[in-house]
């Protein structure tokens, strides 16, 4: 009988029933009874364990995952921190089912894998709906028409409707299982992020639009905001889907302290992006409507972070890139989750303060962890630079994050990232120097990155870069 309890369950009955002598009915009955006892015991133990824990599951894409601070920090872990790790007298357990790049359809599929006895699901999704429609970028060539649309108006409307349906189905499914759902709008960097793609529908207008953009910049630089505004307004009338004109108008209104107008035009620039990597306003409005229709709590992340931004202009103050909050932004959201849990379940709780320094210490977020965050964002901005015809801002931001990271640590990856940024900037001698530095630190890691298809494309953008690449090829193949 001792063997029955210690052998794997799949072997127990087989071993008991395959002895040389055929078991008697009495032995079989005893074996069956023991199996039932063990099963009941495990059921009670599992129920006890679940009763002792308040289980939070997170669903969504990379923001829900906690990027770029994952896996150390995410929204659920921050909420648990503010609640001191306990709620309703139970220890909090957080399970994150999010994945970077997850669309709403993938979130719906993931919801079906949510464990039983889950108390709350945090559902944060919206930035990834258009990713699958983005084109494959060959960085070694300049596109013939950089202003052509990636997604037609009809397809965009279809994607928005599919998003609404997927989120609503997810909410319905979870509610049917008796799980509390907290829905989030998705927050975006509107003040410090240019749109990926500005669409020109009339090809004959391309030259005029380019001239007007240059004129606006010149007027702005010489302190003539009215002249800049007039040139940009001409573009908006001429090509209403040219998103960059709205962003530049927003910048102009911000500089002249017309903050409400700046916010309006920043939102227009985001929503008119021809290749959107930020949630659209229509999506967030769908989320608000779904929450109201199904009676589920809503945390309006966009409005919450906007309300914590100077003049209501959300940018790098609380965002680390186009769509991911920085640590301060995540802390604000995590604190709001904890506050809403206390409200939803009617459990008065004194929350820990929103102190970023204490949170870093509590989560073991040391200098090396910070280094990896800045390194990852530099690589992210380098990738994002490939999506626009005006990459200089994103390249400079990538270099900024590399400069910050370099004060914390260094490795081959850091140096090869510097090399790629300089290559993209056409600073070929600096690119070659940093490739050599990377090679000296870790030849294997550098060679692996050198062979990446995107790296190959960047290093063949110009005849001068191809010469650098040929010299480095000889170095890397020694």
Query: Could you tell me the residue range of the domain that residue 231 belongs to?
Result: 203-271
Q: Which of 362, 390, 408 is the last residue of a domain?
A: 362
In whole angstroms, give the CA distance from residue 153 to residue 75: 34
Q: Which of 362, 387, 422 is the last residue of a domain?
A: 362
CATH number of the domain that 59 lies in? 3.40.50.1110
Q: Are 90 and 53 in contact (CB under 8 A)?
A: yes
DSSP per residue, 349-386: --PPP--HHHHHHHTT--HHHHHHHHHHHHHHHHHHHT
Q: Which of 238, 253, 271 is the last residue of a domain?
A: 271
Residues 375, 227 within the same domain: no
**Which of 394, 390, 442 is CA-nearest to residue 420?**
394
- Total of domains in the chain: 4
Which pLDDT tens digit goes with each residue over 242-266? 999 999 999 999 999 999 999 999 9
Residues 302, 387 within the same domain: no
In whole angstroms, give the CA distance from residue 57 to residue 75: 10
In whole angstroms, give the CA distance from residue 250 to residue 246: 6
Residues 216, 346 within the same domain: no
Residues 135, 256 within the same domain: no
pLDDT in single tens digits along all 478 residues of the chain: 333 333 344 433 344 334 344 445 666 566 566 565 555 554 444 444 556 899 999 999 999 999 999 999 999 999 999 999 999 999 999 999 999 999 999 999 999 999 989 999 999 999 999 988 876 566 666 666 678 877 889 999 999 999 999 999 999 999 999 999 999 999 999 999 999 999 999 888 999 999 999 999 999 999 999 999 999 999 999 999 999 999 999 999 999 999 999 999 999 999 999 999 999 999 999 999 999 999 999 999 999 999 999 999 999 999 999 999 999 999 999 999 999 999 999 999 999 999 999 999 999 999 999 999 999 999 999 999 988 888 999 999 999 999 999 999 999 999 999 999 999 998 999 999 999 999 999 999 999 999 998 889 888 888 888 898 998 888 787 6
Residues 186, 144 within the same domain: yes
Close Cβ partners of 159 (under 8 Å, ≥ 6 residues apart): 129, 130, 133, 151
Task: Report the pLDDT value the prediction gives residue 444, as an integer from 0 to 100.
Answer: 93
Note if the pTM is more than 0.85.
yes
């Amino acid at each position: 009988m001792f063997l029955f309890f210690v052998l794997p369950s799949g072997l127990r009955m087989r071993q008991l029933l395959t002895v040389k002598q055929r078991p008697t009915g009495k032995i079989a009955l005893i074996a069956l009874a023991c199996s039932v006892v063990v099963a009941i015991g495990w059921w009670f133990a599992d129920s006890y364990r679940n009763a002792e824990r308040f289980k939070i599951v997170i669903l969504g894409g990379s923001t829900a995952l906690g990027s770029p601070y994952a896996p150390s920090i995410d929204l659920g872990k921050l909420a648990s921190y503010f609640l001191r790790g306990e709620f309703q007298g139970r220890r909090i357990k957080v399970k994150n089912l999010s994945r970077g790049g997850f669309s709403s359809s993938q979130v719906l599929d993931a919801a079906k894998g949510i464990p039983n006895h889950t108390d709350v699901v945090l559902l944060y999704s919206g930035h990834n709906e258009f990713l699958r429609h983005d084109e494959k970028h060959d960085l070694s060539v300049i596109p013939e028409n950089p202003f052509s649309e990636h997604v037609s108006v009809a397809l965009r409307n279809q994607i928005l409707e599919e998003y609404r349906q997927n989120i609503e189905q997810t909410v319905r499914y979870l509610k049917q299982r008796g799980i509390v759902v907290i829905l989030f709008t998705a927050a975006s960097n509107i003040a410090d992020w240019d749109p990926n793609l500005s669409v020109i529908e009339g090809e004959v207008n391309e030259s005029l639009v380019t001239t007007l953009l240059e004129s606006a910049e010149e007027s702005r630089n010489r302190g003539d905001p009215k002249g800049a505004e007039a040139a940009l307004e001409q573009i908006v009338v001429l090509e209403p889907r040219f998103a960059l004109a709205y962003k530049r108008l927003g910048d102009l209104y911000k500089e002249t302290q017309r903050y409400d107008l700046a916010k309006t035009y920043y939102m227009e620039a985001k929503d008119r992006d021809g290749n959107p990597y930020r949630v659209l306003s229509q999506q967030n409005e769908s989320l608000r409507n779904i929450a109201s229709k199904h009676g589920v709590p809503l945390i309006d992340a966009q409005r919450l972070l906007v309300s914590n931004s100077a003049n209501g202009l959300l940018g790098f103050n609380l965002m680390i890139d186009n769509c991911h909050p920085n640590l301060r932004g995540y802390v604000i959201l995590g604190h709001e989750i904890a506050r809403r849990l206390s409200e939803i379940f009617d459990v008065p709780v004194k929350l820990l303060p929103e102190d970023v320094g204490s949170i870093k210490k509590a989560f073991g977020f040391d200098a090396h962890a910070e280094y990896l965050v800045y390194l990852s964002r530099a690589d992210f901005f380098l990738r994002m630079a490939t999506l626009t015809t005006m990459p200089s801002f994103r390249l400079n931001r990538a270099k900024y994050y590399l400069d910050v990271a370099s004060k914390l640590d260094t490795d081959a990856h850091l140096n090869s990232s510097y090399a790629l940024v300089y290559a993209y900037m056409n600073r070929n001698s600096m690119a070659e120097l940093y490739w050599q530095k990377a090679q000296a630190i870790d030849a294997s890691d550098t060679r692996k990155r050198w062979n990446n298809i995107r790296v190959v494309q960047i290093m063949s953008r110009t005849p001068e870069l191809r010469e650098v690449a040929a010299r480095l090829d000889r170095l890397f193949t020694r």
